[in-house]
Amino acid sequence: MTKKLSSLILAVIITTSALTGCISLNINGNYDSEETEAFSGNEEYTTVAFDPEQDTEPETEPETNTPVSEVSVRPAEWTEISWQPYSCAYFTLNIPEGWKVEWNGNAQKLVWRATSPDGKIGICNIDHDYAAKDPSMTKTLGFEKSLSDASVKGYFEMIFEDTADNFTVQNSCVPANKAALQASSSKQIRDYQAHYATFKDSTVGEGEGVYSAVMVESNDIVIRGTNYGVWEFDAIFYNWAPLGQLVNWQPVIAQIAQSFTYTDYYIQEWQSVLNTTVSPSSSISDTDPVMEAFEERSKSDTIIQEKRSDMLGEYERVYDNDTGNIYRAYNGFLDDIGDQNRYQAITDNQYTEGYVGWIDKD
């Protein structure tokens, strides 16, 4: 009886509240009149049917990626070079801002190199060099190294045996200008090679480079009646970059090489040493023969190396149909860009062409 009476009283209260629109009721007893909004009775409500057998919330439409409308390209370092002149007593050069030049020697043997601030990219030229045929006579003859075989490959392996690990020649070729070079030389060319090689050292880490030299017949040196044989080299030129980056830096390196010019002072000293009026010609005025070895390197290996590099860095390479450029984009860029005709994945062969910028994820 008591329960029935209580229920009746509660029903009367609720009915009265609904009619007057002036009372809010908190069933749990935690009532706060300042935080509770008054109910006017004029709001419209939508009734949602509740299925007691359904214990999950209704499914919502899956989110879709909004296509990227604007793409911001971050230019690569090798495409935004500020050039500056360099000069010394013997030669002048144009180099990228911040690069350094080191040189030593004289009119008989001039060595110079230009390198990036961290030393990871560079170019080196040696006008002339010798190697002893007899190892025991190396220091007596005034040479740094000895060479057992008559080959340009052996010469470079000899130079780098103490400074680079895993110096491995991957590809070799005889440059196409050999006949023209022989026609202009008074000495018989014994060997002329351009090599593409990979290496590993403490400065670059894993690197790659192109190495070229001309090996010519030499007059042996006579000491106390004994004839000691020597190997003679000319036009020694090489350049390097981190593995996978030489294709990008090659135009910059070529521009440095082509800017090289002897000074009048050097020319006069050279003519005095050789007792001639002929002016010396730069051995690096044309880098195309040197780069033949790079262009003919194993493309399949390069493609594998570049794909591995992209995978580890979480990149994908894309081709811009509007500009004809290749960019290194963040992984998933083509999915984000949506259905469009401008950007597309590159072909395998395009991995050997390098890239000119990055597309970063905002």
Delimit the domains of the chain by residue range: 1-42, 81-297, 302-359
- pLDDT (0 to 100) of residue 196: 93
Strand-strand pairing, 91-96 and 83-87? antiparallel
Token code pair at residue 242? 């981190």
Q: How far is 329 from 296, CA to CA, in rounded Å?
A: 27
CA 235 remoteness from chain centre = 27
Count how many Cα atoms sit within 13 Å of the Cα of residue 292 in the half-sphere of its side chain.
15
- pLDDT (0 to 100) of residue 357: 96
261: number of Cβ within 10 Å:
13
Strand segments, DSSP code E, in 276-362 are: 315-320, 326-330, 343-345, 357-359
Token code pair at residue 84? 């500056």
Question: Do 210 and 291 touch, CB atoms closer than 8 A?
Answer: yes
Whose tokens are 């409500």? That residue is: 45
Question: Do 113 and 102 touch, CB atoms closer than 8 A?
Answer: yes
Q: How far is 171 from 158, CA to CA, in rounded Å?
A: 17
pLDDT (tens place) for every residue of the chain, 362 residues total: 444 444 444 444 444 444 444 444 343 444 344 444 443 444 444 444 545 555 555 555 555 454 555 789 999 999 999 999 999 999 999 999 999 999 999 888 899 999 999 999 999 999 889 898 888 888 888 888 889 888 999 999 988 987 777 899 998 999 888 888 888 888 899 999 999 999 999 999 999 999 999 999 888 887 777 778 899 999 899 999 999 899 999 999 999 999 999 999 999 999 998 898 888 877 665 666 677 888 878 788 888 888 988 999 999 999 999 999 999 999 999 999 988 899 999 999 999 889 999 999 87
User: Can you state the angle between helices 246-258 and 288-295, rounded to 10 degrees?
Assistant: 170
Alpha-helical segments (H) within 111-263: 152-160, 178-183, 246-258
CA 257 remoteness from chain centre = 20
Distances (CA, A) of 90 to 95, 101, 102, 103, 261: 16, 13, 12, 10, 9
Instruction: Render the burial of 152-188: b for 16+ CB within 10 Å, e for the rest.
Output: bbbbbbbbbeeebeebebebbbebeeeeebeeeeeee
User: Phi and psi for 267 in degrees, rounded to 5?
Assistant: -60, -45
DSSP state of 135: G
Quick one: residue 196, left, alpha or beta (phi over 0 = left, psi -120 to 50 = alpha)?
Answer: beta
Q: Which helix (H) or strand (E) holds 9?
A: helix 2-20
- pLDDT (0 to 100) of residue 47: 47
Quick one: residue 307, left, alpha or beta (phi over 0 = left, psi -120 to 50 = alpha)?
Answer: alpha
Count how many Cα atoms sit within 13 Å of the Cα of residue 122 in the half-sphere of its side chain.
18
Strand segments, DSSP code E, in the chain are: 73-75, 83-87, 91-96, 100-105, 110-115, 122-132, 165-173, 189-201, 205-216, 221-223, 226-228, 230-242, 261-262, 315-320, 326-330, 343-345, 357-359
User: Phi and psi for 244 in degrees, rounded to 5?
Assistant: 90, -5
249: number of Cβ within 10 Å:
23
User: Phi and psi for 96 in degrees, rounded to 5?
Assistant: -60, 145
